[in-house]
Structures are given as structure tokens and as C-alpha cells.
Amino acid sequence: MAKSSSKSEPKIRVLLADDHHLVRAGIRQLFEGAGDLQVVAEAGDGAEAQALIEKHKPDVAVLDIQMPKASGIEVTRWVRAHYPQVGVLILTAYDDDPYVMAVLQAGANGYVLKTAHTENLIQAVRDVNEGKSALDPDITRKLMANIRTNSEPAPIEAPTERELEVLRLAAKGFTNKAIGVQLGISDRTVQGHLAHIFAKMRATSRTEAVMRAVSLGWVSQSSGQLAQE
């Protein structure tokens, strides 16, 4: 079901980067049929993706991992360093653990497989645009298994009660601003709490922090949006 887009509500501006023209054409048709998504540029390799992101500054960059000239992982790192406001969604056929972990550590906001249902992909773009994390269910299961089998021997410092409140709301997919409204604090304060959480849990992203919190029993997997998606 396509999400209706009112005239007063701007569309989500998307950049597509994939080295296969037919794949890009199919995804463009899918996105533009959603009603609230607009593909502003297409790139056939990583270097072109960087140039077009710099030119158009899209809301969300949808990247493949394996591309000529610069991989999706390299482009993700570059986006985080130069345009942190741009959301990054990885759309790929690769579900191998090294790829998944490398992309998330590089700062991607989401990771969806090309085998995903079309509505799941469209919703993933919307979620990333809103500052949420979007993970393919199969990827979530692999991450959980990876965390359990590769947990660090050193104990993780427990978060404070306020940090737990922030973490639990983050697990449900709320943005920093929405978390701040619910807790009666500023989004800058929320960002500070998340920074402390990342440091304590040795996590490099919201997704990784939530996954670790779930594995440690601090956050319920059934109640977390990240764990469901």
C-alpha cells in the first residue's frame, strides 16, 4: 500500500547507486510509485555516487555494496564524514557477516536485502529518512548470533536508568526529537545520553547498541522495533 503524499508534505529525496542499470530502473519505478519518494539522481559506481550526493544532498542514499571505483562501505564512510545529515540505506544481495558488520560500523542507517518485499524496502527508506534504523529480519538474526558468539570478555558498564529509558525508546524506532518529547528533555540531551551509551557498550551506531542491549537482556526483543523489522 503506497503512502499518500500531500502537496504540503515534501517528498523524500533519494539517490540510487547500483552498477546494474536494470536494477536501478526497477527500484526507481518502485520508489516513484510509492507517492512520497522521489529519485533525484542515479549512480553507476561509487565515485559517481559521491559526486551526486555532493551535488544533490539527498535525504537518503540507497547504495549497493559491490560497486566499481568505490564500494558501498567506502561511500558510507565518506557520507558520514562529509554529509552526516544524509541517511544511508544499503540494498544488496550480500548477507555475509563481514559485509553486514563493516557497513554498520561505517555508519549505515539500514541494511536491506534485494530479496525483501517491496513494501519493506519502501518503509526502510521512510524509516531511515526519519532517523530510525532499518534492518532486514534475516540480518537482525545474524547480528544477534554474532553478538552472542563474539561478545567481549570485558564486562560492559550498565547504563543509568535515564540511559535505559533512552535506549528502550530508541529500540522502538523513535527519533532523538521524539525521545526528547516523551522524556521531557531536549534532543541534544538525548544525543548526549546516546553518546554515553555507545561509549559504555562499545557500539558505533544506534543499531549496534540496541542489539547488544537485547543480547544482555536490558531491552526486550519483542518490544523493540529494530528487532521486529
What is the grid cell recorded at 151?
Answer: 561478545
d(CA 79, CA 123): 22
Residues 6 or more apart whose CB falls under 8 angstroms from that of 100 comprise: 111, 139, 142, 143
Residues 6 or more apart whose CB falls under 8 angstroms from that of 52 comprise: 15, 17, 41, 42, 43
Domain ranges of the chain: 12-134, 151-228
Is 214:171 a contact under the CB 8 Å cutoff?
yes
Is 15:61 a contact under the CB 8 Å cutoff?
yes
What number is the average pLDDT over the span 6-34? 90
Q: Do domains 12-134 and 151-228 have the same CATH topology?
A: no
The CATH class that applies to domain 151-228 reads mainly alpha
More confident residue, 107 or 54: 54
Residues 6 or more apart whose CB falls under 8 angstroms from that of 73 comprise: 65, 99, 102, 103, 106
Q: Is 150 helix (H, G, I), strand (E, B) or coil?
A: coil
pLDDT at 25 over 90: yes
Length of the chain (residues): 229
Which amino acid is located at 96 in the chain? D
Is 207:104 a contact under the CB 8 Å cutoff?
yes
pLDDT at 46 over 80: yes
d(CA 151, CA 2): 40
d(CA 192, CA 188): 6
d(CA 47, CA 97): 25
Percentage of residues of the chain with pLDDT beyond 90? 47
Q: What 8-state DSSP symbol labels residue 59?
A: S
pLDDT at 202 over 50: yes
Q: Which of 204, 224, 22, 34 is nearest to 103 (CA)?
A: 204
pLDDT at 18 over 60: yes
Q: Which residues of 56-76 are buried (b: 16+ CB within 10 A; e: fewer)?
A: eebbbbbbbbebeebbbbbbb
Report how far Cα 73 is from the mean position of its chain's Cα atoms: 13
pLDDT tens column, 128-160: 999 888 887 777 776 666 655 554 455 677 888
What number is the average pLDDT over the span 66-95? 91
What fold characterizes domain 12-134?
Rossmann fold (3.40.50)
pLDDT at 43 over 60: yes
